[in-house]
Amino acid sequence: MGALGWLNAAGTGDATKAMERKLVMKLDRQAFANAYVAGLREDVNLQGNQYSILLSIFTAGMVVGQIPHGLIIQKVRPSIWLPLTLLFWSGLTMCSAACKTYEQLCAVRFFQGLMEASLYSGTIYVLGSWYKPSEIAKRTAIFTAVGQVGSMFAGIMMTAMHKTMEGKGGLKGWQWVFLIDGLMGIPVGLFGFFTFPDLPESTRVTYISQQERQLAIERLPPKKANTHSIEIKSLAKRLLLSPTIYVLTAFSVICAMTEAFAFQGMFLLWLKHNKARFSQSAINTYPLGIQAVAIVSQIFAGTFIDRTGHRLPMVVFAGVMQLVTASLLLVRDLPDAGIFTAHYISGTSFIVNPVLYGWATTICQRAGDDAVRSVTLYTMNLGGQILYTWWGIVMYPATDVPYWKKGSITMIGK
């Protein structure tokens, strides 16, 4: 296969290494929500808003880790750092199965967030080192959609564990989910050390030839001589004197607000609240429709953007769909069919990922400054994560189930 063919075909395959990490890490986020409604709450004796607080503590770990990870991958190859953080994350996930108190869960969830903070922006950074502006939105969409596949698989796995592993080895089904989830991450992390492609100018993988490396470099705007410099004064000047980081971070916060209903697991909590009418298998399975909608809508949006070059129609579509969701959920006595529809529609909110991060990559590529691009991407993620350290507790607290009036009104007002 020639170099051009490799970039269009095998290049996408290289991204699957990152997607595997995204899949495994997304399993934990959804597994935690599924575990909560499948016995974790009762076994650990979680009370009141402690579920929402645990989500915020995980997010706090994400907040703390963002900028350090963005700087580290300028000096440590991503093929070393990202798999290493996945291995630490895997160990912490398995530790979740041993937690017996709320305080223990708080500690584990914080450090899980700290490790997971490396993944999303780090992978977008690497993808942006290989793909042109007309290619990046779809790749970003595919990568993010894999996370939704992880969420779907977590629900299926939780259902299977509840049916087949409950009580085996003296462990509850939700404990088995955390153990299996963590074990799955170990081979993926080890595999990443040898197969993740890094950047075109620094890749060491054997499946990319010198000719292909050179073509990948020539396809994108040239880079500055100090592109990986993280000297504080120099980086601060290059970063803070441009409006790019401020504009993109502001948009990131707005987009994070848009994802609230799907991101916070509201549908799971509603189903758990109505457990007299829904079996445990149904509670774990019905929310999979949100991820299915997210997968289809993201890939559609990414493909549309790459083919047309227009992002605004996808922004408008996602916004209108969240308006519909919030408006429906403001109806206090909405029938089940309406509630299901509203939450499934909320899956379209994830369209903002290929829109925003594809746009950010395109803008930052032009400057030819990898350190600035990396820190900008991590700062964007930081903005959204800071929001969710308090946003979910205030606007979508678990104690408001089954009716999140404040959150719905805020979504409409936004």
The domain ranges of the chain are 14-195+232-413
Token pair 């020539």 is found at 218
Please list, residue by residue across 17-51, b when 16 or more beta carbons sit within 10 angstroms of its beta carbon and e when fewer do.
Answer: bbbbbbbbbbbbbbbbbbbbbbbbbeebebeebbb
pLDDT in tens, 179-193: 888 898 899 899 989
Calculate the CA 240 to chain-centre distance: 26
Q: Quick one: DSSP state of residue 335?
A: -
Token pair 């399975």 is found at 285
CA distance 304 to 296: 12
For position 18, what pLDDT does the model report? 58
| Token pair listed for 86 | 């996945």
The predicted model scores a pTM of: 0.87
| Token pair listed for 198 | 């890094």
Handedness of CA 109, 110, 115, 121 (dihedral sign): positive
Report in angstroms the alpha-carbon separations of 391 from 70, 151, 234, 386: 24, 22, 34, 9
- Residues contacting residue 304 through CB under 8 Å, at least 6 positions apart: 310, 313, 314
For position 315, what pLDDT does the model report? 94
Closest to 303 (Cα-Cα) out of 128, 134, 148:
134
What kind of fold does domain 14-195+232-413 have according to CATH?
Answer: Growth Hormone; Chain: A; (1.20.1250)
- Residues contacting residue 254 through CB under 8 Å, at least 6 positions apart: 414
For position 29, what pLDDT does the model report? 61
Q: What is the DSSP string of 206-230?
A: TTS-HHHHHHHHHHSPPPPTTTT--
CA distance 103 to 371: 37
Is 88 within 8 Å of 69 (Cβ atoms)? Answer: no
pLDDT in tens, 85-131: 999 999 999 999 999 999 999 999 999 999 999 999 999 999 999 99
Is 373 within 8 Å of 227 (Cβ atoms)? Answer: no
Specify the amino acid at residue 401.
Answer: V
Count CA atoms closer than 13 A to 120's CA, side-chain side.
Answer: 29
Per-residue pLDDT of the chain (414 residues; tens, 9 = 90+): 344 444 444 344 445 555 555 555 555 566 777 777 778 888 888 888 888 889 889 989 999 999 999 999 999 999 999 999 999 999 999 999 999 999 999 999 999 999 999 999 999 999 999 999 999 999 999 988 887 887 777 667 767 776 788 788 888 888 888 888 889 889 989 998 988 899 999 999 888 999 999 999 999 999 999 999 999 999 999 999 999 999 999 999 999 899 888 887 889 889 989 989 998 888 888 988 999 999 999 999 999 999 999 999 999 999 999 999 999 999 988 999 999 999 999 999 999 999 999 999 999 999 999 999 999 999 999 998 898 888 878 888 878 888 888 888 888 876
For position 320, what pLDDT does the model report? 95
Is 55 within 8 Å of 264 (Cβ atoms)? Answer: yes
Is 354 within 8 Å of 138 (Cβ atoms)? Answer: yes
Token pair 């979504």 is found at 411
Closest to 81 (Cα-Cα) out of 39, 137, 119, 25:
119
Q: Between helices 352-367 and 370-388, what is the axis angle to 10°?
A: 150
Closest to 20 (Cα-Cα) out of 229, 189, 266, 156:
189
For position 412, what pLDDT does the model report? 82
For position 22, what pLDDT does the model report? 55
- Residues contacting residue 413 through CB under 8 Å, at least 6 positions apart: none
